[in-house]
Amino acid sequence: MSITYLEAIREAQARALHEDPRVYIYGQDVGAFGGAFKATKNLANEFPGRVLDAPISEDAMVGSAIGAAIEGMRPIIEMQYADFSTVGFNQIVNNAATLYWRTETKCPIVIRLPSGGTPGSGPFHSQSMEALYATYPGLIVMTPATVEDAYSMLLEAVEIDDPVIFCEHKYLYYHLKAEALPTEALPTGKARIARAGRDATVVTYSAMVHEALAMAEELGREGIEVEVVDLRSIKPLDTDTVLASVARTGRMLAVGEAWPWGGVTAEVVARVACDGYNLLDAAPMRLNAKDTPVPFHPNLWGTHRPTARTIARAMRELLRR
């Protein structure tokens, strides 16, 4: 048996619905249709009345989830695409994210954002929104890169008493397979060494972990050993694991699929510079998508985002520094 990243998300939701009567799913087309990506396939049938179609109203979807959470429910909101969460942005960052701090009322909601680019998706179905949400206090932002993390982190997200932005990568939905669902997992807040190496560190997350691993494989054939750190969650960001890796390698490249101004890679570099300056043998580097909207045509899209090839080029530059 094998299971895809997408099926793992579906299975995690099925388990959450099964184990916790407070859980329900609300989003566009999630009911009988099973969701635009089929992440809720058959769940409306298996759990009558608990997987509900929403009108195209992201603001009201999130607002109602906040109210339901105040009443003790644990809603999972599916945004059809991460890009559309901008319509619900106000409710997420101003209402959900401030509720506990302002009123000591817990707000256990999970907002699933089908994130990142795929060929042909274009400017409005490809965005990586994680840094926007991470900058606001009061939110936890998960960015799973593996089938196992997609499953276990989504289950953990449902259990957490705070709003969780769950950035699941659409490119990984079908491309990534595992033999079985995991029985144990690292807790959120701990980064993972996806590949050990002594010459340089790549710090990345989500789909870029796989591009970085492919790069490390290629350079490994030349005797260059690159360590790949998978952040898993960008908020909280496991600075200790990043610094420990940089202490081993002395060089760091931060890679992200999001845009270059600010964001996760900038945060990682800033933390390493502030807390680990003496660990560095060379100035750190960042590699991000280009500073344009995400292009539609695969030729352009494949160049807009970092790939194993461009990460390798950046890595060779880092090693020459």
Helices (H), 187-262: 208-220, 239-249
Binds another protein by CB under 8 A, chosen from 162, 181, 280, 282? 162
The interface region with another protein, picked from 3-11, 35-43, 53-61, 115-123 by CB under 8 A, is: 53-61
Question: Which residues of 98-244 form beta strands (DSSP E)?
Answer: 110-115, 140-142, 164-169, 177-178, 192-195, 200-204, 226-230, 233-235
Could you say whether residue 275 binds another protein (CB under 8 A)?
yes
The residue (of 5 and 47) whose beta carbon lies closer to another protein is 47
Binds another protein by CB under 8 A, chosen from 1, 48, 49, 221? 49
The residue (of 61 and 209) whose beta carbon lies closer to another protein is 61
Q: How far apart are CA 184 and CA 317, in angstroms?
A: 38
Pattern 288-317, another protein, x by CB under 8 A: ------------------------------
Is 125 annotated in the active site? yes
Q: How far apart are CA 145 and CA 157, in angstroms?
A: 15
Could you say whether residue 103 binds another protein (CB under 8 A)?
yes
Nearest residue to 91 via CA among 77, 73, 103: 77
* # binding residues, another protein (CB under 8 A): 54
Site for another protein in 231-260 (CB under 8 A): 235-237, 239
Binds another protein by CB under 8 A, chosen from 16, 25, 99, 253? 99
Please, are residues 10 and 43 in contact by the beta-carbon 8 Å criterion?
A: yes
Q: In sequence order, which residues have a C-beta less than 8 Å from that of residue 71 and are 6 or more positions away? A: none
Nearest residue to 135 via CA among 172, 183, 92: 92
Specify the DSSP element, H or E, that contains 105.
none
Which residues contribute to the site for another protein (CB under 8 A)? 24, 49-50, 54-55, 57-73, 75, 87, 90-91, 94-95, 97-103, 105-106, 137-140, 160-162, 188-189, 235-237, 239, 270-271, 274-275
* Active-site annotation, residues: 125
